[in-house]
Amino acid sequence: MFDSYALYNYLQAENLLDNVPEYWWPNAGTFQIVLTAILGQNTTWLNVEKSMDNLQEYLTLESFLTLDEKSLIKRIHPSGFYNQKAPRLLALAKNIKEQFSTFENFQDSVTREWLLEQKGIGEESADAILCYGCMRAEMVVDTYAKRVLKKFAVEFKTYREYKIFLEEGIQKHCKQAQLAKVYALFHGMIVEYNKHYSKELKSFH
DNA sequence: GGCCAGGTGTAAA
DNA sequence: TTTACACATGGC
């Protein structure tokens, strides 16, 4: 039977993560995850990197909060949707500061529900921030995950159904204490697999 | 030149 | 509850 653990093993056999950090997303565990999660919405990664380069001096919660909206819009121009991403990012940073004081405290105590209340954060961004920013056991479901699953004839309607499918198979085979790392690795392998086999996967549309 | 990318919010049916 | 649409750039 094909469950997410079978997919996990299939991807592992591909050896996709050579020379990739333990937590696959660049700068995992830092405030930068919050920025990249939102800048990356419906945007190519190359454009996200261009925007992040323009934010070099503002990559901590405190320094980011010194930016004004006009300057931020200019800096994140390459990654698109800047008129909505800029105010949403500033409001989010402000709320993190007000509710949690420090990013470290945010990492320890933020909930998925709190994130989903923030304008500009939907289910995928919430899970990306929790998984890679806070090292929590939350599986990220993105276009890539849906595309790989389609290759194996697995399709659902809602985000929640995809998330449950991906998490269930792993949970049966991994200890609770390992889950956060395994989910991060699993999602990372899914993305790398897409990059490697993009043409083949897109032909399944 | 058209299509798409590591989505989300809003409004209308 | 589902569907349609706006938001925007840069690479292919």
Residues 42-81 of A with CB under 7 A from strand B: 42-45, 47, 80-81
The structural domains of chain A, ordered by start, are 4-22+139-202 (1.10.1670.10), 32-133 (1.10.340.30)
User: Is residue A166 classed exposed, middle or buried when 0-12, 13-18 and 19+ CB atoms within 10 A define those classes?
Assistant: buried
What is the C-alpha separation between A41 and A141, in angstroms, rounded? 13
Termini Cα distance of chain A: 23
Q: What is the DSSP letter of A42?
A: T
Burial class (CB in 10 A: 0-12, 13-18, 19+), A42: exposed
Question: Is the distance between the Cβ of A99 and the closest atom of strand C smaller than 7 Å?
Answer: no
Residue whose token pair is 């449950």: A164
3-state secondary structure A153-179: CCCCCCHHHHHHHHHHHHHCCCCHHHH
A29: left (phi over 0), alpha (psi -120 to 50) or beta: left
pLDDT at A22: 79
A205 pLDDT exceeds 70?
no
User: Would you state the structure tokens that stand for residue A146, as one six-digit string?
Assistant: 């849906």
Mark the nucleotides of strand C covered by protein, meaning any atom under 7 Å from a CB. Answer: 2, 7-11
Query: Each residue of A63-96: pLDDT tens digit?
Result: 999 999 999 999 999 999 999 999 999 999 999 9
Placement of tokens 């939350």 in the chain: A138
Distance A108 CA to C4 C1' (A): 38
The CA–C1' separation of A204 and B8, in angstroms, is 26
Does residue A121 approach strand B to less than 7 Å at its CB?
Answer: yes
- CA–CA gap between residue A182 and residue A137 (Å, rounded): 8
CA of A21 to C1' of B8 (A): 29
Q: Cα A16 to the chain's mean position, in Å?
A: 18
Residues A144, A107: Cα–Cα separation, whole Å: 26
Residue A154: pLDDT over 80: yes
User: Whose CA is nearest the C1' atom of nucleotide C2?
Assistant: A157
Residues A89-129 have pLDDT tens digits of 999 999 999 999 999 999 999 999 999 999 999 999 999 99
What is the rounded average pLDDT for all residues in chain A? 95
pLDDT given at position A108? 98
Q: Is A45 within 8 Å of A194 (Cβ atoms)?
A: no
Amino acid at A185: L
Asked if residue A30 has pLDDT above 60, the reply is: yes
How much of chain A, in percent, has pLDDT values that exceed 90?
A: 89
pLDDT tier at A155, thresholds 50, 70, 90: very high
